[in-house]
Amino acid sequence: MHDRRSFMKHSIAATSAIGTASWSGMALAASSTQSALVFDAMGEIREVYNSALLQEMLDSGLNAITKTMCDPKTFQREALDVALEGIRSFDAWIKSNPRQVLKGKSVADLDRAKRDGKIAVFYLIQNSTPFGKDLDMVDTFYGLGLRSVQMTYNFQNWAGSGCQERSNSGLSVFGLELVEKLNDTNMLIDCSHANMQTMADTIRASNVPIIVSHTGCLAIHKNTRNTTDENLRLLADKGGVVGIDQIRPHITTLREGALEHYLNHLEHAVNVCGIDHVGIGSDRDHRYIDMTPEYLDELRAEQGANLNEDLLPWFMVELNGPRRMETIWDGLKHRGLSDGQVEKIMGENVRRVYFETIG
């Protein structure tokens, strides 16, 4: 096994875990997303995005994003077909926008994107169903540029259980085999949407760090998509990273002033995991969203029966649009974090776990 894939357990030392009192006592320093590495561990970047919107994302400091390739609610042959089509289609879109985006397959691509003023786009599937029970498909998708695999979506699949499944069963026998195969293939494992037992089983089974790229903290807000402190600690102990998402119902029931609650989730994750194990995975559209009938129709077409319109809007007003990372940077600085600490949350921690897995 390569040295880059070896890692030590990370202790949550007092110098790393930042309590509320110590946050308020730190001096603010002058820096910004322009000088930092900014990596959205799971966010939307769509083929309808035009050059002007991409430029706003770049101007906000965004250097990299991990993008879902296809609808994760599919099974059997449909799951395979939509995943292959998603990769083919997005490859073509990247090829048509060479000045602003590039395909990310290694950390070297991420570094090149930052140097050249582009966004590195890493490919994720949010469900392992495209593989069926054929582990050789992992190699096929790796060859197509896929670099991250979510074990489950909301419900049961061959690998394990999702967060909305009625039982609390964990990783299956096939799931254990899949974890080993993904480790051997240098594919990053994601446990977003998993139930807590499947998540814990996967963290323990993996020989390298994993990511929970887009979730909230269950201790702060009760939602089936959020993660327990127990699993957050386990994730950090194995070197992993949690990305706090920006889906408002995962963060708070409030429709106004939600940003402070988002910062609360980030602060709680840091206090539980340590500063080296927290990132941002927005799970959000980078467009400016207006709740128009046309946008509602778009959501209904994408989400089907999964859409609960009583929970809309999904976005937080303060984070609606492509300049959101600057807003988060400013919010964390006002809470007293140093530049170095904010830089870890904004991208360095995600870069580290990518380096230790995909290389």
| Nearest by Cα to 215 from 172, 178, 265, 140 | 265
| Per-residue confidence (pLDDT) for residue 5, from 0 to 100 | 36
**In whole angstroms, what is the distance from residue 199 CA to residue 178 CA?**
14
| Nearest by Cα to 178 from 227, 133, 241 | 133
In the chain, the amino acid numbered 146 is: L
Spell out the domains of the chain, with CATH numbers in brackets.
3-357 (3.20.20.140)
How many C-beta neighbours within 10 Å does residue 65 have?
24
| Nearest by Cα to 216 from 184, 248, 173 | 248
| Per-residue confidence (pLDDT) for residue 351, from 0 to 100 | 98
| 3-state class (DSSP) for residue 213 | strand
Residue 194 CB-density burial (10 A; 0-12 exposed, 13-18 middle, 19+ buried): buried
| Per-residue confidence (pLDDT) for residue 243, from 0 to 100 | 98
| Per-residue confidence (pLDDT) for residue 31, from 0 to 100 | 60
| Per-residue confidence (pLDDT) for residue 19, from 0 to 100 | 35
In the chain, the amino acid numbered 36 is: A
Cβ–Cβ under 8 Å, residues 339 and 29: yes
In the chain, the amino acid numbered 70 is: C
Cβ–Cβ under 8 Å, residues 226 and 188: no
Cβ–Cβ under 8 Å, residues 94 and 38: no
Which structure tokens are listed for 333?
Answer: 């600085």
Handedness of CA 89, 131, 3, 244 (dihedral sign): positive
Give the DSSP letter of residue 72.
T
How many C-beta neighbours within 10 Å does residue 78 have?
14
Cβ–Cβ under 8 Å, residues 245 and 214: yes
**In whole angstroms, what is the distance from residue 254 CA to residue 251 CA?**
9
**In whole angstroms, what is the distance from residue 290 CA to residue 198 CA?**
37
Mean pLDDT, each 10-residue run in order, the chain (359 residues): 36 33 32 89 96 96 97 96 98 98 98 97 98 98 98 97 94 98 98 98 98 98 98 98 97 95 98 98 93 87 83 90 95 96 98 98
| Per-residue confidence (pLDDT) for residue 306, from 0 to 100 | 79
| 3-state class (DSSP) for residue 21 | helix
| 3-state class (DSSP) for residue 68 | strand
